[in-house]
Structure 1
Amino acid sequence: MKTVIRPETEMKDSGIEWIGDIPSSWTIFPANGVFSEVKEKNTDLKFTNAFSFKYGEIVDKKQVGDVDNNLKETLSSYTIVRKNTIMINGLNLNYDFVSQRVAIVNESGIITSAYLAIQPDENKINPRFVLYLLKSYDYQQVFHGLGSGIRKTLKYQDFKKIMIVAPTLSEQQVIADYLDKTCSQIDEIIAEAKASIYEYKELKQSVIFEAVTKGLDKNVEMKDSGVYWIGKIPLDWEIIKTKYVIKIENGSNPSTEGKIPVYGSGAKSFKTCGEYKEGPTVLLGRKGATLHIPHYIEGKYWNVDTAFNTIPINNKIELKYFYYVASCFDYNKYISQTTLPGMTQTNYRNIYMPYPSITIQEELVKWLDNKIFELDSLISEKESLINDLEAYKKSLIYEVVTGKRKVV
């Protein structure tokens, strides 16, 4: 199967802004003409297999097993859904999340009643066709304009007024079959690209670790570092605590407005301010899920209290070398055992690190900069491919389910 652009002479204006022209033979009707709201609750605990809504898919939660009284109350309030029930995550529509709010159920089970569950009348509409149609609506954020309440939640009384466009049931089936096959092929390529990105990132980390702990000369004599995560190091290298070569400073909230980028423990600045510190620096995470990822910052910057900034002591270390070493620290050994991961200045100051001569540090930085640039370029290529494929898939779905492209 393939698609061809449908001639303009076969099209008509749908009168719906986000749909545009549709084939002259297609019909337009409100959603409540082919959908009914699913309201059946799991009051008798008929089902214990609960589902989750994840990235546009309905996935199985772990089988619950024995049900105690507290869990009974929770599961009894869940909605019973069955094969081909369409789920819409209509929560918090005022937040501009990546749109993956529509999914289809593949087997009977239960799911939280916070989501909108609607059952298509299969005598009037093909479930998979209308799944793709609603996904296309989702991509264009049609639902964002329909929610009500402070948190903008989509209810059935809002959804039922949405206009649906559709061809005959036989053509709906052809469209659904084509999109199932084509989107599956696209998803396979995307999955392969994501796997490659993961491998490149693993390779990048391995390259950094080998360079900063073993050096570039594979023939040099080695010795035991005495530090478990470092292993052996070249004979003429030292092992020292970071506090002897790096000064660590706290961050703070800025008090003035301006254009200086402000960083926390994340990779990107999240706002700007008027105060500044002079880079370069290595930002070390103080708390947060990404504190194990250091960041090398050049130019003027500011850091809040979720990140420490660092300053070399008396030029005893090449700062970029320290950045590469810090990306290899065993953070799990030092992170406090709390709900929110955290590191202290004392933790960082007492971490042991490999310490070659400044000359070797500079050589390592030059070599690593080139190598990491190559790997990052490969990662960027894969990320660009993924973005292009995802955009193509969205465009293809839209053009096919609105009849602008005909499956032949």
Structure 2
Amino acid sequence: MGKYQGYEKYKDSGVEWLGEIPEHWEVKRTKFFVTKIGSGKTPKGGSEIYVDSGVMLIRSQNVYDDGLRLDDVVYIDDEIDNLQINSRVFPNDILLNITGASIGRVSLVPPNFIKANVNQHVCIFRPDLKKIFPPYLHLLLCSKQGKEQIFSYENGTSREGLNFQQAGNLTFAIPPPDEQEIIARFLDHKTKQIDDLIAKKEALLEKLDEKRTALISHAVTKGLDPSVPMKDSGIEWLGKIPKHWSLLLLRLRYLIELGKMLDQRRISGDYLVQYLRNVDVQWDFINQNDLPEMDINPNEYERYLVKNGDLLVCEGGESGRSAIVQGVDGILGFQKAIHRLRVIGTEEIPRFLFYIFYYLVKLGVFVAEGNPNTITHLTVEKLKLYRLPKPPKKEQQAIVTYLDHKTAEIKQQKAKILEAIELLKEYRTALITNAVTGKIDVRQVPIP
């Protein structure tokens, strides 16, 4: 692999998918170098028993390959903790998600870790320190061979997960303990370098997102000509706008219709129509594949169908998230969680309003009472009463053309950065895999 050399002598591992391994390595199953394989349990009562402080209960959403993420960790009190004694987590334990969509994610519990438990979705491997270096076991489970074994044990497509017997039968090539430590320290150094590069590129992505938001915000509130006279909009979050722009109520500019409520009990199957859900409407993109169906009577088509050029706005979730309908050549409905905005007259460019909604969402205008943790809904009544900037149609089109061009440039820049990040991640995985399977010999590689 690049500048790294292999070992002098190899032998057949006896495992087809593992191939040859260094002559002095041994093939072992996980159960032979750990003292515990087990998981916890979720306390009875669910989220109602969680407290503001106490003993941590680590769940699958806290377990990641690059470490535990405890921002949303929950706590249980001492009484419940006493019932969880068999799920206690100790420093140097390896935590592996064994069920659900996050199956295969794995974390090394750091030294001096405070008191904690895991629930039933997380498996504890407790390394035998005489046989396995804990960071090395973590690397084994992060490697391509580790992930592939874990995924191969999934029960069908439902991802029901691993049982403890399967977890104990995960098979790896194991070097002597002192060599494990050398490999682990090498990989710790190299992966930190790679992670630093990834972090820098992710910071560039954030800056590009900020640039995109700033471009849109300025264009849809100030226009493209910095020399035009301005006026106070009278709206606190909007500030000054060009003097020749108007601020009409949205209901005077667009017909606003909330989609049809889904009622499974009333589906007869006589008038089945595919329909869009909230999740299908993303920023500037509408999913039209594998859509569900509901009954929409032909006499309801005018009210509950979409057509090309309509602007769809999410009523809940990320309230205000929007996209314009394009490429529809048949009958397509929309659910109650979506507003359909259809132009009244001929003086509107829906894509300009799309950019307005992007600005409003990023500004937090639709956040309930200014609290981002509160579930917010953008009701029809609220939406109709918003006064939003309206330049002349020709100017709307000019702004849209400008923003389409500028945001396309940013999108291309982001795509190149994302590609570079994926290549770094692939290299990271390959480096780990080649080191822990003996394809490269890193024992003599100097580490600063």
Shift of 1:312: 1.0
- Specify which of 292, 295, 308 is matched with residue 279 of structure 1: 308
User: What are the equivalent positions in structure 2 for 1:134-283 lying under 5 Å apart?
Assistant: 134-136=141-143, 140-146=147-153, 152-252=160-260, 262=276, 264-265=278-279, 266-267=281-282, 268-269=286-287, 271-272=290-291, 277-283=306-312
Shift of 1:333: 5.3
What's 1:310 paired with? 341
Paired residues of 2:255 and 2:342 also in contact (CA < 8 A): yes
Shift of 1:344: 1.6
CA distance in 1, matches of 2:99, 2:407: 41
SS, match of residue 233 in structure 1: strand
Shift of 1:336: 11
What's 2:433 paired with? 398
What's 1:25 paired with? 24
SS, match of residue 324 in structure 1: helix
CA RMSD after TM alignment: 3.5
What's 1:44 paired with? none
User: What are the equivalent positions in structure 2 for 1:252-401 lying under 5 Å apart?
Assistant: 252=260, 262=276, 264-265=278-279, 266-267=281-282, 268-269=286-287, 271-272=290-291, 277-288=306-317, 290-300=318-328, 302-329=333-360, 330-332=365-367, 340-401=375-436
CA distance in 2, matches of 1:352, 1:234: 15
Q: Which residue identity does 2:392 align to in structure 1?
A: S
Paired residues of 1:147 and 1:155 also in contact (CA < 8 A): no
Pair 1:382–1:139, CA change in 2 (3 A): farther
Shift of 1:164: 2.6
SS, match of residue 118 in structure 1: strand
Q: Which residue identity does 1:111 align to in structure 2?
A: N
TM-score (norm 1): 0.84
Ranges in structure 1 where 5+ consecutive residues have no aligned partner: 42-46
Shift of 1:71: 2.1
SS, match of residue 238 in structure 1: coil
Shift of 1:325: 0.8
Q: Which residue identity does 1:58 align to in structure 2?
A: L
Shift of 1:223: 0.6
1:182-222 Cα distance to aligned partner (Å, 9 max, x none): 11111111111112212211221111111011011112111
CA distance in 2, matches of 1:223, 1:128: 63
Shift of 1:100: 5.3
Pair 1:152–1:63, CA change in 2 (3 A): closer
Pair 1:138–1:319, CA change in 2 (3 A): farther
1:368-401 Cα distance to aligned partner (Å, 9 max, x none): 1111111112222222222221122112211111
Q: Do structure 1's residue 102 and structure 2's residue 106 form an aligned pair? A: yes
Percent identity, please: 24
Q: Which residue identity does 1:203 align to in structure 2?
A: K
Pair 1:62–1:246, CA change in 2 (3 A): closer
Paired residues of 2:140 and 2:146 also in contact (CA < 8 A): no
Shift of 1:35: 0.4
Shift of 1:264: 2.7
Paired residues of 1:257 and 1:272 also in contact (CA < 8 A): no
